[in-house]
């Protein structure tokens, strides 16, 4: 009975949602990262990812490590508060099952007007929920969040401490995002609300994506929205990864078949020409195109200029009708 109850509760609340259309394991890349990083051996990769709802603790490590973001947290959204603790830490601050569930945009949403956020973790090496990999993973997520904050002109200071308890002892609680969006407060608060408006959406929603194309991951959509609202100069560097193709491309279908978000496409002209193009905003930087390229001419760039990420479409390689293949300058 206890095992059955555990299965019901965990499946309903903590097991990550699986988006097969974005999964690299289904695209002949040999990806099994989620299974390799799971500290509980709860994941098996066959033709699709299978997660054991009993063994899964909902730590979120697989979600954070998935290169194509084919896994996303399920359950209650991350609380909007400047202090957050894991379930193994006591205190009055809001808590989540494991801090490994946090994404970069979560940290921006958690931060106060001054850009500060406090995270309290327990003894991860002895934790039955997460494990010893959590501290390093948290530092990586915090680094990516700081890079995003810097790109949009915001300050972000993330304090991650090992502690027995973490209290939400701020003398005055800040306005919620919804309160700021409703109006009231100072102009600075209105500006902050505008910048963070895209983060009001609950993680996991599919947005306005059409059924014919894979939905973009929520964290990436939020990141794009923040960058778009920041009024960036085209030459500004942004934390994104985009492919470019060097000379020698065969214009074969390998990269288009492997792309989890349909960011790379081939188009054929009536004159026999072929164009390989990229929709930069759909690219999540998973490296699948680079991994499957049979002639190893795909390279990933990071960071990239905003003008490149903000394009609707860019040509990666082309072949004129009856001619030889070539590439277009980035």
Gyration radius from the chain CA atoms:
21
Confidence at residue 327, expressed as pLDDT on a 0 to 100 scale: 56
Domain count, the chain: 3
Same domain as 88, residue 62: no
Distance CA 126, CA 207 (A): 39
Confidence at residue 322, expressed as pLDDT on a 0 to 100 scale: 65
Residue 205 lies in a domain: no
Same domain as 124, residue 54: no
Same domain as 93, residue 159: yes
Same domain as 318, residue 241: yes
Same domain as 96, residue 27: no
Same domain as 56, residue 109: no
Q: What is the CATH number of the domain that holds 294?
A: 3.30.70.20
Same domain as 88, residue 43: no
Confidence at residue 324, expressed as pLDDT on a 0 to 100 scale: 54
Q: Which of 74-88, 193-207, 239-253, 296-310 has the lowest mean pLDDT?
A: 193-207
What is the per-residue pLDDT across 8-39, written as a single tens digit (0 to 9) for each? 444 456 899 999 999 999 987 889 999 999 99
Answer yes or no: is pLDDT of 173 > 70. no
Answer yes or no: is pLDDT of 129 > 90. yes
The residue among 38, 72, 106 that closes a domain is 72
Same domain as 289, residue 260: yes
Residue 222 lies in a domain: no
For residues 255 and 289, the answer to whether their CB atoms sit within 8 Å is yes
What is the per-residue pLDDT across 270-281, written as a single tens digit (0 to 9) for each? 999 999 999 999
Instruction: Grade residue 265 by pLDDT with cuts at 50, 70 and 90.
Output: very high
Confidence at residue 9, expressed as pLDDT on a 0 to 100 scale: 47
Per cent of the chain over pLDDT 90 is 70
The crossing angle, in degrees rounded to 10, of helices 187-196 and 218-229 is 140
Residue 180 lies in a domain: no
Answer yes or no: is pLDDT of 196 > 90. no
The residue among 53, 72, 91 that closes a domain is 72
Answer yes or no: is pLDDT of 176 > 50. no
Residue 317 lies in a domain: yes
The residue among 72, 107, 124 that closes a domain is 72
Which domain, by its residues, includes 252? 237-327
Confidence at residue 78, expressed as pLDDT on a 0 to 100 scale: 76
> Taking the model in full, what pTM does it have?
0.80
What is the per-residue pLDDT across 301-320, written as a single tens digit (0 to 9) for each? 999 999 999 999 999 999 99
Residue 16 lies in a domain: yes
What is the per-residue pLDDT across 65-124, written as a single tens digit (0 to 9) for each? 999 999 998 876 777 778 999 999 999 999 999 999 999 999 999 998 889 999 999 999
Antiparallel, parallel or unpaired: β 242-245 and 264-268: unpaired
Confidence at residue 28, expressed as pLDDT on a 0 to 100 scale: 79
Answer yes or no: is pLDDT of 244 > 90. yes
Same domain as 98, residue 39: no
Residue 89 lies in a domain: yes
Same domain as 103, residue 169: yes
Distance CA 264, CA 142 (A): 29
Confidence at residue 212, expressed as pLDDT on a 0 to 100 scale: 73
Residue 196 lies in a domain: no
Residue 227 lies in a domain: no
Answer yes or no: is pLDDT of 223 > 80. yes
| SS3 letters across 127-186 | CCCCCCCHHHHHHHHHHHHHHHHHHCCCCCEEEEEECCECCCCCCCCCCCHHHHHCCCCC
For residues 160 and 119, the answer to whether their CB atoms sit within 8 Å is yes
Answer yes or no: is pLDDT of 142 > 80. yes
């Amino acid at each position: 009975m206890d095992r059955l109850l555990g299965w019901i509760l965990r499946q309903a609340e903590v097991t990550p949602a699986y988006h097969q259309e974005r999964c690299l394991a289904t695209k002949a890349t040999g990806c099994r990262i989620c299974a390799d990083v799971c500290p509980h051996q709860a994941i098996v990769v066959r033709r699709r990812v299978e997660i054991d709802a009993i063994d899964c603790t909902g730590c979120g490590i697989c979600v954070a490590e998935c290169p194509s973001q084919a896994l996303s947290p399920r359950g209650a959204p991350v609380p909007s508060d400047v202090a957050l603790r894991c379930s193994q830490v006591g205190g009055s601050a809001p808590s989540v099952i494991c801090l490994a569930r946090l994404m970069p945009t979560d940290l921006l949403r958690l931060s106060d007007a001054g850009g500060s956020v406090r995270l309290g973790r327990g003894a991860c090496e002895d934790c039955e929920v997460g494990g010893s990999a959590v501290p390093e993973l948290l530092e990586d997520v915090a680094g990516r969040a700081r890079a995003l904050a810097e790109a949009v002109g915001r300050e972000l200071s993330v304090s991650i401490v090992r502690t027995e308890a973490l209290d939400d002892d701020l003398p005055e609680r800040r306005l919620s995002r919804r309160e700021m969006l409703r109006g009231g407060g100072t102009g600075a608060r209105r500006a902050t609300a505008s910048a963070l408006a895209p983060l009001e959406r609950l993680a996991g929603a599919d947005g306005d994506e059409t059924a014919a194309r894979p939905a973009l991951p929520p964290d990436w959509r939020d990141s794009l929205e923040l960058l778009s609202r920041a009024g960036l100069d085209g030459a500004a560097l942004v934390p994104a990864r985009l492919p470019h193709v060097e000379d020698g491309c065969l214009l074969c279908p390998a990269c288009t078949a492997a792309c989890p978000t349909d960011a790379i496409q081939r188009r054929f002209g009536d004159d026999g020409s072929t164009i390989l193009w990229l929709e930069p905003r759909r690219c999540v930087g998973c490296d699948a195109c680079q991994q499957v390229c049979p002639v190893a001419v795909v390279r990933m760039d990071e960071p990239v200029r905003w003008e490149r990420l903000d394009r609707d479409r860019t040509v990666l390689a082309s072949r004129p009708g009856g001619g030889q293949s070539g590439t277009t300058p980035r």
